[in-house]
Structure formats: structure tokens, C-alpha cells
Amino acid sequence: MEGTVKTVNWTNPHITFVIESDAKDGQPAQTWVFEVSSPGVLTRSGWTKHSLQPGDHAVFHYAPLRDGKPGGFLMKVDLPDGKELSFSFSPTEQ
């Protein structure tokens, strides 16, 4: 889903992003809410509070809500510059 970040709530226990989807194929823009893991997990995966900010446009990959409402668990974000934001629950081996 492509859209623009409206708000970011970077707090424990889970980070949430409110996204406005792009209006496409005759469908109006829609507000989506995505939950991600904790700030600690994202920080260990290379994210910062500034990785995704209001006004940023991106492609959002997610696991949908079971009830079909617009939202879900955010899995990965593709930024326009080609950068990918993703995360891992386990620390990377070095």
C-alpha cells in the first residue's frame, strides 16, 4: 500500500504509524493505522525516531487486521530513495 505518514507515536509498548493511502483506481484516500514492534526492537534494527516522519511518502508492507479494517502489523517500508526499513526480533549475529 502506498501512502503518506500522518502521525508517528514512538512509545512503548508498540510504535504506531497513521498513514493516508494514495487515492488510486477511483478509490478515495483512506486512513490506515499500523502497529510495529517496540522502540527497542526497531532501534536495534537500525531505525531511529526520524526514520519515518509525518509527510514521508512510502510503500508499506503489512499483515492485515483480521476484521478487514484499514490497518495491521507493519512488516517493512520501502522509501522513495530505495532504502528499506525492516526489523528483526532477534539481534543480528556478528
Q: Under 8 Å CB-to-CB from 80, ≥6 apart: which residues?
A: 57, 58
Domain limits, the chain:
2-86
Q: Is pLDDT at 92 greater than 70 in this prediction?
A: no
Please state, in angstroms and rounded to a whole number, the distance separating the CA atoms of residues 30 and 69. Answer: 11
pTM (2 d.p.): 0.88
Architecture of domain 2-86: Beta Barrel (2.40)
Q: State the greatest distance between any 2 C-alpha atoms of the chain, in Å, as a whole number.
A: 48
Which of 77, 72, 66 lies closest to 42, judged by CA?
77
Q: 78 near 59, Cβ under 8 Å?
A: yes
pLDDT band at 93; cut points 50, 70, 90: very low
